[in-house]
Structure formats: structure tokens, C-alpha cells
Amino acid sequence: MSNTIDVSVVIAAWNAQNFILTSINSALSQKGVSIEVIVVDDASTDDTCDVVESISDSRVKLLRSRINGGPGAARNIGFATAKGKWIAVLDSDDYMNQNRLQNMLSKAPTGADVLIDNFCELSSDGAISGPFYSSTELPLGKLNLSFLIKTNLVFTKVKSTGYVKPLFKNEFVKNHSIKYWPEVKIGEDYYFLASCLARGANAEVLNEAGYVYTVRDGSISSKLEIDHIDKLLNFDKKFIREYHLSDLETSALKIRNKNLKRAFHYLVLIEQIKARRILPALLNIICNLPSALLLILPIKKRLLFWK
């Protein structure tokens, strides 16, 4: 592990030929820090690799995965080869403001293992929002595991803190053998950060917002399905098996479990209504009334649209 590199920026890429240049260039343009950019191509079928190889900058390294393993598997490859003191995760369709890394490192408290900043959203019409989280939704200072868990819910007004793109201390991640779970295709960032916290990471939320998240229609994170919720419930069981949790963390997981089960029955109900399976739908409503109350969500969405 070399101290001459401040940050290793890991970009997992799959069929990203149309936008990955923006992502890579934002990493290369970081001011005041030494970096390397590790692009892990996840068996793309387009010209992603050609685009990356066209960049004549020795700081850019391309690693090719022989099979499509998903974002978690690709990031594991990048993390394993990272030489920087810190590792930054950057999605191939997102970008960073040029002072982001310098600002975060300059504000890093002594002993921090994870640095977290706010982010802005880039909409399809090119508009950039203000910081995604308010000071109450993502309080400055130390982030604990119970707060992370209880703020990662679905179909609620709570903004998920699982969207953050932290900087991880390379030494901490490798000393504790923390890896992404390759089988997780949605929520992989949440479980990685949760694993760090469960291993005792000192995570600090900074008063910065230098990451820009691109909102894309049809992304897996924008449309939850029954299978997604079912897998999240199973991954939570795995998390409980792997880590010894405090009473507060266990309580937070019970809240999350109740929330995910509510969402599961709601999505099942939606499918039953679409298929005109009236009797199963009525039984579902009777047995899972809190889930049925979520039916108001599509109505609210339509009302907001027409308004």
C-alpha cells in the first residue's frame, strides 16, 4: 500500500461507453490530491473498454472481468488492487466536483475510517439539485450502525442513507477483510457500509456535497420488485448471522424487517390487482392491512403529476 497515492477511485463499469468519460475525467481533475483511477469493466458488450483505453493518462488503470458479476463483484476487484490511502467509489454514470476529495480529506478527523459527504442529483433535463439530505436526515458527525439501518427503509418519507458514496480507508477495509457481497445487486453500498460499521469503523459525516448522482429512468434502484424485497430480507438474515449486534442495532433491524415485509406484501397486492385475482387480493388486504394502505402511493403520484 503506497502513501504516495491519496485516493484510489474505483469505477465499476458495465456498458458505460456513452457516459464513463465524464466520470473518469471528474476523477482525473481532482485538485490537491494524488489519485489513481481503477476502472473495472464488468464484461461489457459495448465499447466501454475502448473508451477507457483511449485515455492517455497513466493514472487510469483498466481491469477486465471475464464474467458479468455485478457492481459488487467488480468493486471487489478494484478494491483488491487499490494502492491509495483512501478508496472512493464512483459510479460510471456519476461524477465528482473537482474539489470534492481535497475538501473531504482536509476535514477528516484523526482516526476516521470512513468519510461521508452529501450529494446532489443531476436530472434528465440537466438540472442539478441542492444537497440531497437535510441536516436532520444526515446529521454531521459520527454515523452509527443503528442510524444507518433505521434510515434504510422503503416506501416511506425517510431518505435512505444507503445512497451515500463514502471514502473508505484502504487499511481498515483490508485489515478487516470487508468485501461487497457479489450476490447483492440492489443495496450493495448499504451492506458494505453496514459491514464497515459492524466491524467498528469510525465513520464521519462531513459538511460537503461534492458527489453528483445521475438520475436515470429504469435503473434497478428506481423500481423495486417483489424479488428485490425478498432478497433484501434474506441478506438481512445473512448480516445478522455474520455480525454481533448491539440491542440498538437489533432493534433497528426489527424496524427495517417490518418495513420490508410491509413492502413485500404491498408489491404482491399490486400484482394480484393487475392480474385481477380478486380473492387473493382481498385476503392479502385483510391479513396485511398496513401494506394495503400503501395503495395510496400511486394515487398521490398521479395527483402530484396532474398538479
| Contact status, residue 41 vs residue 66, Cβ threshold 8 Å | no
Residue pointed to by grid coordinates 460510471:
92
The two counts, helices (H) then strands (E), for the chain are 12, 11
Supply the pLDDT for residue 306. 40
The 10s digit of each residue's pLDDT in 15-67 is 999 999 999 999 999 999 999 999 999 999 999 999 999 999 999 999 999 99
Return d(Cα 170, Cα 168) in angstroms, integer.
6
The 10s digit of each residue's pLDDT in 93-148 is 999 999 999 999 999 999 999 999 999 999 988 899 999 999 999 999 999 999 99
Supply the pLDDT for residue 303. 40
DSSP tag of 128: B
The neighbouring-strand residues paired with 204 are 115, 142
The 10s digit of each residue's pLDDT in 195-244 is 999 999 999 999 999 999 998 765 544 578 999 999 999 999 999 999 99
Supply the pLDDT for residue 149. 98
**Summary mean pLDDT of the chain:** 93
Supply the pLDDT for residue 125. 87
Cell numbers that stand for 25 in this block: 475525467
| Contact status, residue 78 vs residue 38, Cβ threshold 8 Å | yes
| CATH dotted code for 7-216 | 3.90.550.10
Supply the pLDDT for residue 126. 87
Cell numbers that stand for 287 in this block: 391479513
Supply the pLDDT for residue 153. 95
Cell numbers that stand for 171 in this block: 487499511
Beta strand extents in the chain (DSSP E only): 7-13, 35-41, 60-64, 86-89, 95-96, 114-116, 119-122, 141-142, 167-169, 203-205, 211-214
Distance from chain centroid for Cα 173: 17
Supply the pLDDT for residue 304. 40
What does the domain layout of the chain look like in residue ranges?
7-216, 226-306
Return d(Cα 242, Cα 11) in angstroms, integer.
27
pTM: 0.91
Of 264, 258, 265, the residue nearest 284 (C-alpha): 265
Return d(Cα 196, Cα 200) in angstroms, integer.
7
At residue 297 the predicted structure's pLDDT band, cuts being 50, 70 and 90, is: low
Cell numbers that stand for 12 in this block: 465499476
Q: 226-242 and 188-198 helices cross at what angle (nearest 10)?
A: 10
Q: What is the enclosing helix (H) or strand (E) of 175?
A: helix 170-175
Supply the pLDDT for residue 220. 44
